[in-house]
Structure 1
Amino acid sequence: MTAPLVTRQDKDGLATLTLNRPDKLNSLTVAMFRELRRHVLDLQSDDTIGCVILRGAGKCFSAGHDLGDIAEGEKVPSPGWHSETLRLMERLPKPVIAAVHGHCYTGALEVALAADFILAAESARFGDTHAKWALTPIWGMSQRLPRRVGVATAKRLMFTADMIRADEAFRIGLVEQIVPDADFEAACEDLARRILANSPFSHAANKRLLEATDARDMDSGLQWEILNCEGVGPDMQDRIAAFTGKSKKAKT
């Protein structure tokens, strides 16, 4: 029986999706994207899951788009299908963490950038090598990378095809945190648990709000926030009651 190319493991509200082609450094194929897309679609309506971690099996997150597939003229279901798949993941109504160790190059970086943020192990290495192979991005690099690091830095990475270490990725704002490899798995779960402790209603509403107002001027953004406010979540009263109940106990 063929092993799945993307696995899913659920644990107490946390779903971990793992790119599972370690013998090929998790290089990305149409078949792998097809499985990733299926998991993303399943997660859209799964209310038992409040946070998602996307990681890679074996030595790295992913070495990028499988060049063999490209050379052979890979067949995609429709134009823009890869980009559409990553957009579906980006718009999940729950936080998505890209947990990156080892290689994260080109197509893999485009996948990681579609997460809400990137947590990096010290071993992580990032780069955009489209120009090295005379390719241009169609999975979102030209849009997400400059939004994350700024236009000039995005140009530098895209034009030079330089590989950068985790500390440089942190300095330019590509990643949110660097963790020693030995502590990486625990740190990823700890971050996810801190997210899960808060309201899933707020997470979903905040993701929609941040996306809708990205790149707007301040006044129109403030107006959008007021006019499109989603109000309070169904768990508000329970959360306040739990907090005030603990406070009362502490005073007695």
Structure 2
Amino acid sequence: MEPLVKRENFDGWTQLTLNRPDKLNSLTVGVFAELRAHVEALATDTTIGCVVLRGAGKCFSAGHDLGDIAEGEKVPSRGWHSETLRMLEMLPQPVVAAVHGHCYTGALEVALACDFIIASDDARFGDTHAKWALTPIWGMSQRLPRRVGAATAKRLMFTADMIDATEAVRIGLAEYAVPRADFEREIESLAKRIVANSPFSHRANKRLLEATDGGLLDAGLNWEVEHSEGVGPDMHARIAAFTNRRK
């Protein structure tokens, strides 16, 4: 039986793929359970320097499986989905959402729990909670305004409008977009560029950003000085390699 979330390891990075292509990778409790298991394993895996989350087939994900909602899905505990996405967000490695095709509502909440989003030029984003008389419980009301600003978040949430990759980049939802034909190459290139840098710095920087997000500038500057983790164990080797190349 095919996994609902497939893990593939490459040279220093991992790709997690939402794997229900026949259902447009719609999100069920089973999908979240497998995603959570992978996240738990990655949290202590020091061989992995970057995580890419994407979808199989035609799209990233069409969102929360409405059939599951209608049938009254059984979750292990209150807030379990949100807790799972917070675990994803708190991974020590950089986590990139690579979005092509549909990325709606619950799927957008999953993508927003990643450090940033890159998009294929065929990507479409939207929050349709209001269309179905639902309210978010996976993090939309908190992460979307932090990413795009309160007014833009309200516009997207109130209208349930779909936006394309160009608009997603314009408002800061996605970092950049590439043609669909180049998407696979860009995912690999981006992951390699990330893992080429110090995993110590990545982990330390994520902790600094997390601790000071949304706070006052002076408090954040003080936090950075007081809680800087200094230099990593790979610093001397990296500097030596650079200076040796110049000789």
Give a deviation string over 1:166-214, Cα, whole Å, max 9, x none: 1000100000010000110110110111111100000000001001111
1:235-246 superposed matches below 5 A: 235-246=234-245
Alpha-carbon distance in 2 for matches of 1:176, 1:197: 20
Pairing 1:114–2:113 present: yes
Alpha-carbon distance in 2 for matches of 1:218, 1:49: 32
Q: What residue is the counterpart of 1:35 in the other structure?
A: 34
Q: What residue is the counterpart of 1:187 in the other structure?
A: 186
Identity of aligned residues (%): 76
Q: What residue is the counterpart of 1:150 in the other structure?
A: 149
1:166-181 superposed matches below 5 A: 166-181=165-180
Alpha-carbon distance in 2 for matches of 1:230, 1:92: 17
Q: What residue is the counterpart of 2:132 in the other structure?
A: 133
Shift of 1:247: 1.1
Alpha-carbon distance in 2 for matches of 1:159, 1:52: 32
Alpha-carbon distance in 2 for matches of 1:9, 1:149: 31
User: Please, what is the CA RMSD of the aligned residues?
Assistant: 0.5
Q: What residue is the counterpart of 1:7 in the other structure?
A: 6
Q: What residue is the counterpart of 1:229 in the other structure?
A: 228
Give a deviation string over 1:92-146, Cα, whole Å, max 9, x none: 0010010000000000000000000000001100000000000000000000000
Q: What residue is the counterpart of 1:68 in the other structure?
A: 67
Alpha-carbon distance in 2 for matches of 1:163, 1:101: 14
Pairing 1:21–2:20 present: yes
Matched residue SS, 1:18 = strand
Aligned AA (2:143): R
Report the TM-score, using the length of structure 1 for normalisation: 0.97
Report the TM-score, using the length of structure 2 for normalisation: 0.99
**Unaligned runs of at least 5 residues, structure 1:** none
Instruction: Name segments (4+ residues, structure 1) moved above 6 Å.
Output: none
